[in-house]
Amino acid sequence: MGRICSTVAIKLGDKGAIAVRAGQHARAPAPAVVVVDTVGAGDSFDAGFLYGWLKGWSLEEALGLGAVCGSLSTRAAGGTAAQPLLEEASRYAGRTSG
């Protein structure tokens, strides 16, 4: 890592996610959900992670939101039917607001 890519986030399915940035390591658990369909879970993870990243959250917080968004999106069929809104995802991620 370094010159080409300074941050890497890796999804681990029901085991959550891990990330590394400039020697800093973070791990986030995935909330337990009844999985119906995993289509779009990666995109939802990316959206949550990037939201936190762009808001200036810590690596742990951004990764946590990504893991929550990816997990919750699997609760219904079709990539977007169960995507959480920020308010719901923030509660799962332990934040009071976005």
pTM equals 0.91
**Euclidean distance between CA atoms 77 and 74, whole angstroms:** 7
DSSP code of residue 94: T
Per-domain residue ranges for the chain?
A: 7-93
Q: Which residues are catalytic?
A: 43
What does the pLDDT read at residue 25? Answer: 96
**Euclidean distance between CA atoms 7 and 75, whole angstroms:** 29
Calculate the alpha carbon distances from 16 to 2, 3, 29, 38 in Å: 24, 27, 4, 14
Average pLDDT of adjacent 10-residue blocks, the chain of 98 residues: 79 96 93 96 96 96 97 94 94 77
Superfamily of domain 7-93: Ribokinase (3.40.1190.20)
The H or E element spanning position 24 is: strand 24-28
What does the pLDDT read at residue 47? Answer: 96
What does the pLDDT read at residue 95? Answer: 73
